[in-house]
Structure 1
Amino acid sequence: MSAPATTKVHANEVAANTKRGGDIRVTLSPRTVGCTSGFGGVLRLAAGHHVTEHYHPYSEEFLHVIQGHLEMSLDGAAPVELDPGDSLLVPIGVRHRLVNTGSVPAEAVFHLSPLAPRPELGHVDTEQPLDASAGNPDVGAAR
């Protein structure tokens, strides 16, 4: 029996996605570890900053706050306040926008599942991205 390939990935080993705001790092994905059922990573968001509104037509998003105070708007409803230790499910197809309402940087972990049929179909922007020139490191094919 051969040893399994390593599946450990540090956030600093992957490119930051800053297109929609914040510092989003997809650490576990088909591209990084060859997974097939979803992808996940970490989000860092400076005080007062936000992640632009978008939705996922194929995936649920699971968000867990580690540090800071965040506010998630879902389909234009009253925002949901999120503090350290809080988790939130964003259902498939629900527009959402995340804002750091605190005075310190916020950190959260996320997971999306199942995967879209192709990476470029995974996110639909409903608000102009903050930095379209930043590119969009996708979850793509296995490394």
Structure 2
Amino acid sequence: MTLQKVNLQEKFNLFQEQWRPKIVGELNGQHVKLAKLQGPFVWHHHENEDELFLVVKGRLCMELQGQEPIWLEPGEFLVVPRGVEHRPVADEEVHLLLFEPAGTLNTGNVQGERTVENLERI
């Protein structure tokens, strides 16, 4: 087995599309994903999965049902527990690292135009 380091900036440079996460690593049944976001996402929740959102570049607002929004700056992360209704919003493009169980659907309990079922590995 050959171990290889991952350079986040190099991986972010490989794609331009927004709201389409890319898998960049895997461990213990978890995927490490990168995504570029801009604008509001859909309100959703995940029945069985917690999600970690780490801002690499930009400023992200995580809107939460019934709570004040949480703002994340570069180098900050938030874990959204399973069952919590949430919606990421980015006024300007945000580069994000996600850590979540393999097979987690990006739109959780909602199916629509932003749902990505077969994630690309880069």
TM-score, normalised via structure 1 length: 0.62
If each structure's helix is expressed as a fraction of its own residues, which one has the higher value?
A: 1
Tell me the CA shift for residue 68 of structure 1. Answer: 1.0
Preserved CA contact (<8 Å) 1:52 1:130 = no
Please say which structure displays the higher CA radius of gyration. Answer: 1
TM-score, normalised via structure 2 length: 0.70
Preserved CA contact (<8 Å) 1:11 1:25 = no
Which of 38, 44, 48 is residue 36 of structure 2 equivalent to?
Answer: 44
> Which residue is equivalent to 2:21?
24
- In 1: Cα distance, 2:51 partner to 2:109 partner: 15
- In 2: Cα distance, 1:7 partner to 1:125 partner: 34
If each structure's strand is expressed as a fraction of its own residues, which one has the higher value?
A: 2
Tell me the CA shift for residue 27 of structure 1. Answer: 2.2
Tell me the CA shift for residue 63 of structure 1. Answer: 1.1
Tell me the CA shift for residue 53 of structure 1. Answer: 2.1
In the alignment, is residue 85 of structure 1 matched against residue 75 of structure 2?
yes
Identity %: 22
Corresponding letter in the other structure for 2:50: E
Corresponding letter in the other structure for 1:136: E
> Which residue is equivalent to 2:112?
129
RMSD: 3.0
- In 2: Cα distance, 1:131 partner to 1:92 partner: 20
- In 2: Cα distance, 1:8 partner to 1:22 partner: 25
Query: Could you say if the C-alpha distance between residues 138 and 66 of structure 1 is closer, same or farther in structure 2, counting changes exceeding 3 Å?
Result: closer
> Which residue is equivalent to 2:57?
67
> Which residue is equivalent to 1:32?
none
Tell me the CA shift for residue 73 of structure 1. Answer: 1.3
Preserved CA contact (<8 Å) 1:11 1:41 = no
- In 1: Cα distance, 2:15 partner to 2:83 partner: 26
